[in-house]
Structures are given as C-alpha cells and as structure tokens.
Amino acid sequence: MKQIAALTSLTLRTLPQRFWMSLAAVVSIALVVAVLLAFLAMGEGFRKTMTGAGSDDVAILLRTGSASEMTSVISREEIPLVEQAPVAARGADSAPQVSPEIYVTVDGSTLREKLGPMSDTAVAAYVARYAHGLEEGHRMEENLTVAEWIRSVAEKLVRGFVLTIDYGDLAARLYTADRPRGTLMAYRGHVATEDFFSAPGEQDLTAHVNFSALINAGEDAGLKLNGFTTQERFLLALGEPNQFADLYDPGQSELERLDARLKLKRMILPGGMGTVFKVLIQHKGITVPKLIGLNFR
C-alpha cells in the first residue's frame, strides 16, 4: 500500500511538468484520426456520387483485379491488343472496325454504305445492352425511338393494356449468330430482297422489333409486363374456349367459312406468321390481370 501511495503521490506532483507533453501526444493522435476519417469520408462521397450519376444504359469495363474504374487503366501499348482481338470486326483491308455505325452516302446517283463512328452514345449503350454477343463482322439494327414511343403511350394510359403485335423477338434470340446481316429487309411487290438501295422510295424497308427494349422501356415508364408469346399461341388460346366459333360471321356460305379457316391457318402457321409474329401485352393500373390469350405461352 505504501508503494502504491508513493507512486500516486509522485504522479500527481509531476503532472504539471508532463502536461504539455501529454497534450501534444493527444493532439497528434487526434489529428491522425481526423485525417483518416476525412479520407474515408471523401472515398465514400466519391463512391455515392459515381453511383448516383451513373446510367443503367452505360457499361464500364474493368480490367481483372480492379476494384473501381479509377484503378482500371489501359496503357497506349495495350491498345493494339484490343484492336487485334478475334472479336473485333474487320473490313476488307483487315483494319479493325471498333464499334462502327453504317451510314448511307450518295455517290453520284448511287446510294452506298459507309462505315463511320458512332453518331450517338445511346447507340453504343444499346449495342452493349442488347447485342453484346455478336460475332466478328455481324450487323444489327437498333431503334432508339421505340423507347420514346412506349413512354408516350404509358403517359396517356391511366388504366388498361398495351397490346403490341409485330415480327421480332427478345434480344437474346434476335441478335444471334444465325443472323450475321441482321434483320433488315426490303420488300417490293411482296418480294423480299437485301438490295436496300436499288429502288429508293419504291420499296419498303423493315427490320424486326426488339421486344426486350419495349419491355424495359415500358417498365421504366410504369408499364408492367403481362406476357409475351407467339401469334400462333395467342390466337389458339383465344379460340380454344369456343372452338373458333367467332371466326365466322352469321350467314356465311361454306366457301366463305373455308376462306376464313385458310386465313386463320396462315396466321398461326408454325415457321411462318404464327411464330415470326410476336405478341407483347403490358398493363397499368390493374392488379395481376389474367388473360385467355396467354394461356398457351
């Protein structure tokens, strides 16, 4: 006890001499902690800013081992490795074509294709989102206005359904290796051709609809997905309850009824209009609707 009392007494007597030294140590430690907290706060603020300012339509590619885009760097010496990769499309001169867009130019009296840079970052975002699996030299079409159209429809609709029927498919089945030239076609006199520029103004140019883009844009605008199916299954499901009795009008002759059945057959023919045409149904303001036309999807 005497030793403890003596040590305590000595500590108290020397406290004035040790005050400034102890205060300096405390202040130093506090400054180090403050600096560390400041750096952590800056890092968290930067992360939240980058997250809040980002867009779902923009993809950032990071090199292996990178924790963020700030630490993912590609040097000038590494650029040729990207250009020479097997997945980079190449032209007739073997030069790499990195994400080109195809333009239509006038050469005298002739329309020709010309490769050029992306005209809009939205085009690159569309390709990255829906057609990232395309192989070397493949083409695809995009329609940025479809998102604007479905948004305008959603704004006008308070309660009800949006029924979209057209030829096309979901992106995963639309932009594939079996369509190296995309889906763009020219029609003249009910004859299909890929000679798009031979008769400008005298033939129809058309491409398949990317229903994935319609679904995504619709969801962003408040339209919920009700169902997606083929025209064949949609019509069969509608006609199944009454065995297609609604196909005929009252008083039709047997010849007219036969003609109606042939028309239906063309519309549901597998491998033809029945499977090429798709049916997309979206809804708004309705709780879990169940439609007969989607029974066979």
The answer, yes or no, to whether residue 181 has pLDDT greater than 80, is yes
Mean pLDDT value across residues 77-84? 56
Pairing of strands 160-169, 209-210: parallel
Pairing of strands 160-169, 277-284: antiparallel
More confident site: 227 or 241:
227
Residue 86: pLDDT band (50, 70, 90) is very low
Residues 6+ apart with CB under 8 A from 123: 101, 142, 144
Full-model pTM = 0.64
Residue 93: pLDDT band (50, 70, 90) is low
Nearest residue to 137 via CA among 104, 93, 97: 97
Mean pLDDT value across residues 176-180? 85
161, containing H or E segment: strand 160-169
Give the model's pLDDT for residue 108: 82
Mean pLDDT value across residues 9-34? 68
Give the model's pLDDT for residue 153: 93
Contact 180, 139 (CB under 8 A): yes
